[in-house]
Chain A
């Protein structure tokens, strides 16, 4: 059986996490490090030590913004941003879900909106997100102004060959 470290390394498919010598440059450059439960190099350490539950249940992996500053500055070219994608995907696949629930609900609303029209229809996507998250009132104050300025179009054009988009969703469902 593979260790947690081996599993994550295989999915990253790049420089192995053993290369990290904990210089903390990733953490120093991370714009949301102060909002994270674990610093980035601590996440690497937890993976090295096989702490699957701590990592996959952490809020840290959902707070990551994917700004890619960490990989840009890592002296060992470890792809921390890709590592975060891998960890989020593992948390979903293993039924753990997301510690930061609304972050995942936003992603789900966004993807289901693509599946419907091939392209994002922003007002509809926001409705889908609000229904999923139950967060009905935040940002609602901005909507009238945005409508008046023509920034929210209910009838934005869709992809014609929507079947090809739906097929991609279907075929990647279990990958």
Chain B
């Protein structure tokens, strides 16, 4: 299948491991990526917290650009995904707003392409059977908890993600590549990403709570599909509680034995290589 690809700002910098592994996994699973032409930032929390029209218009500019390719747009960053789904929701529900925003962006919004996240694309389009057949190195010894966070799931009628209080797609993907996925009650709890820089003390407590819960569940790592959760969980928890954090695509790349799959682990702030060596995966 072919999709248009909106990496978003994080994937070119702090979230580069997500971009690299996303591209190699997509290639290996037969997902062809066409980057959205001349994309710009979605505005993230800073736009929606301060100016409603700005948040809708910044997302609409990108959606309109993606529509030129007439392909579903895959958005790996949970925050960008959430902003695009929110913009789509409002633009489809409110004709007056749509006309106003089109005037601001200087182009028409059709609303004809689906906005998708990579968990959904891999689970529903590629499928568990195809993924199973591609595993060459099952991730035996890895005991992750899957962490979905907020922005892929909520609000449910906007994000349209399955089972938003107890989602399972990421758990199934991780199980398929051979990991011993631990069950826990914090899959969809917030890590505090939007205040990580401006109210750090609150956010450290939230990250510590998640890491403690993961440890209690018997996990030796945490798996995410969001570059903001990754930054936060990789850097903010107290030293004594930290666990390695992975993007789910990094683990798929490792299990599929893809070239360069070991490289992305080197740039994590909390080094996951000792764990991977201990369980003989690198």
Chain A residues within 8 Å of B, Cβ to Cβ: 11, 13, 31-32, 35, 63, 65-69, 71-72, 79, 81, 85-86, 88-89, 92, 100, 102-108, 110-111, 114, 118-122, 126, 129, 133, 138-139, 142, 145-146, 149-153, 156-157, 159-161, 164-165, 167-169, 171-172, 175
Contacts and interface: CB of A to CB of B under 8 A. Distances in A.
Q: Which of B94, B150, B266 has the most CB of A within 10 A?
A: B150
13 contacts: A31-B190, A63-B199, A65-B192, A66-B45, A68-B151, A71-B155, A72-B153, A85-B48, A103-B195, A118-B40, A138-B200, A151-B16, A165-B58
A108 B189 CA distance: 27
A91 B151 CA distance: 25
Interface stretch (B6-14, B216-224, B237-245): B6-14
Interface of B: 9-10, 12-14, 16, 38-41, 43-54, 57-58, 61, 94, 103-106, 150-151, 153-156, 164-165, 189-190, 192-195, 197-200, 202, 206, 235, 266-269
A103 to B, nearest CB: 5
A90 B197 CA distance: 23
B38 A161 contact: yes
B12 A119 contact: yes
Contacts of B269: 142, 145-146, 149, 151
Given A165-B40, A172-B53, A153 B197 contact: no
Contact of B164 (A72, A119, A142, A145): A72
A79 B126 CA distance: 35
Contacts of B46: 106-108, 110-111
